[in-house]
Amino acid sequence: MGARDGEGERLHMCDTLVARPRATATGALLFAKNSDREANEAQYPLFVPAASHPKDATLRCTYIEIPQAAATHAVLLSRPFWMWGAEMGANEHGVVIGNEAVHAKIAPGAAPALIGMDLLRLGLERGASAAEAVDVITALLATHGQGGNCAHKGRFEYHNSFIVADAAGDAFVLETVGREWAVERVAAKRSISNSYTIGSGIDRASQGAAALAAAHGFLKEGDTFHFADAFANRKRSALASGHQRWCRTSALLNARAGGLTQADMMAFLRDHGAQAARSAGWRPDGILGGAVSAHATYGPVRRFGQTTASWVAELGEGHDGSKRAVHWLTATAAPDTGIFKPVFFGPGFEAAALPDFGPAPTDLFNAKTRWWRHERLHRAVLRNYPARLAAYREERDRLEASFVARVEAFLARGGGPEEAGALSRAIWREADRAEAHWLEQVLKVPENPAHRPSPFMTAHWRSLDRQARMA
């Protein structure tokens, strides 16, 4: 995500993608996001049930208190452990949202307000459709503004963009600068990264957006209002490889000849860019480039660019009449080293039991948490990336494909919520057992000097391990 001027050392990266029903194989909407944050900033799935609230109740968000809504929807979130908000999530009505930091010529607010992750969660808790969630977010922006420190450590503020979609097949891109915003309705397929992407094809904008651009000299009288050209700080976006990754995710979406599948979205979230695709010995060390799946390493830009959670959702009614509300979560960092697991949540599956997500992690190692257990595997793989990942990748891919096949068979026969919950729980247990086995396999592969991380990357990860008290 992005940073205030003068704090380029804190450039987090994220990518969010969506495909509306006309562009998918099943006829249901597909959504995907990688959340990239600090490498020890654990993130976990959190379910919050629907609730009614008394009149005049207030709500404490990450930094500020705001009036609570009369009623809030049930939500499933991917939540960095220390904040109130979330990086991505869904609600019981089939609304999904992912956010990105974007870099503007106008500095983001430092004073405590709503942060982008708060806005995301509020949109899910209060919006029963994608359009309604967009209205919730923009109204909250107008009333409370956005700002405040978004970093786990240090200082880091930014503006936000969002993809907001729903089970009815609607999808929007919402980009903001301060309290101002623009909305573009998605035609078929779309992605966002850490750069402004809405041009002159604006479907709706705040009343003050063009005036703000003009006041700063970004829009001349008589010129067409191009949101990205007016506000984007191209240099800062380039530092975070925002435009490059947006081009990469756009190319991945558009290169698929047939309808997109959930497996395609999983593959996109594991992508390391064109250069990695051409090199069998590629390792995540040094320049990020167009990598969608990010690993933290040394340097001013990459120190905090670690994919800490990944999410793929399939929502709506399929061509075969099947009801789909399936969320595929890694619930771990580094999707290239992990496995996606299904959660049934949303329209048609309101009564489905959720898997056991386990205790919430923090930034300290705790083997009782799924996120930190996976870090033992992830960090071991980094010591000899090509060979150690190869030790279990094919087995992982076969197991994940079997999960998808079992879910597809269940949906095709119209299984009910009780069976959905049992299936999900069984698969999560299988995945946990498999990861424990893969760690054993990986540790049997010796480190190879040819594939060993650079001294700078090695020192960086050793420092992270010490900070997390990870033996």
Question: Which residue out of 14, 61, 150, 247 is catalytically annotated?
Answer: 14
Please work out, in degrees rounded to the nearest 5, the angle formed at the alpha carbon of residue 242 by the alpha carbons of 239 and 289: 70
What b/e readout covers 38-62, taking b as 16+ CB neighbours within 10 angstroms? Answer: bbbbbbbbbebeeeeeeeeeebebb
- Helices then strands, each counted (H, E), the chain: 13, 18
Collapse the DSSP code of 170 into the 3-class scheme (helix H, G, I; strand E, B; otherwise coil) and give the result. coil
Q: Report yes or no: 134 and 174 within 8 Å, Cβ to Cβ.
A: yes
> Helix, strand or coil for residue 208?
coil
Q: Which residue has the tokens 């870090």?
A: 375
Separation CA 97–CA 172 (nearest Å)? 10
Integer distance in angstroms from the first to the last C-alpha of the chain? 30
Size (the chain), residues = 471
Q: Is the dihedral of CA 302, 304, 305, 306 positive or negative?
A: positive
Annotation marks residue 14 as catalytic: yes
Taking alpha carbons only, the member of 41, 47, 30 closest to residue 1 is 41
What's CA 217's distance to the chain center, in Å? 34
Burial 73-101 (b: 16+ CB within 10 A, else e): bbbbbbbbbebbbbbbbbbbbbbbbbbbb
Alpha carbon distances (Å) from 224 to 181, 218, 220, 234: 16, 11, 9, 19
Q: Catalogue the active-site residues.
A: 14
